[in-house]
Amino acid sequence: MNILIAEDDLASRKYLYKWMSKYGSCDMTVDGIEAVEAFTIALDMGNPYDLVCLDIMMPKVDGIKALKAIRDIEKQRGTPEGRRAKIIMTSALNEDDVVSDSLTAGSEAFVTKPINLGQMEALIKDLLA
């Protein structure tokens, strides 16, 4: 599995990287611009991401805007619904409108920080089943 982790906080980024590496090859970015660029490069190289973890609050471009850009890229390239990347939004914010915005924009799931690894593992298995 090919995984992209977009997280501006170094400790959170390392934590997710270490834990998610057991599921496959992980790349990391620190903001939404880098996330969209990495996503596009992976598509261009024929090795698209299966799973993307996007933090909502990131510098330059936030996770919601990055999510919308990723979904637009998939649409422009004609990616079939079943082949789209599975996207999990992460945030310390647990407000209804934030969760709703991320799901409306095209994410499959929302996980509140601090991340519960048991919950995350069950979610990943469910998404990739």
Report CA-CA distances (Å) from 125 to 45, 62, 70, 122.
26, 26, 22, 5
Handedness of CA 100, 73, 66, 43 (dihedral sign): positive
Q: Which residue has the tokens 């979610």?
A: 123
Once rounded to an integer, what is the mean pLDDT over residues 8-31?
96
pLDDT at 96: 78
95, pLDDT greater than 80:
no
**What domains are defined for the chain?**
2-127 (3.40.50.2300)
50, pLDDT greater than 80:
yes
pLDDT at 69: 97
pLDDT at 100: 86
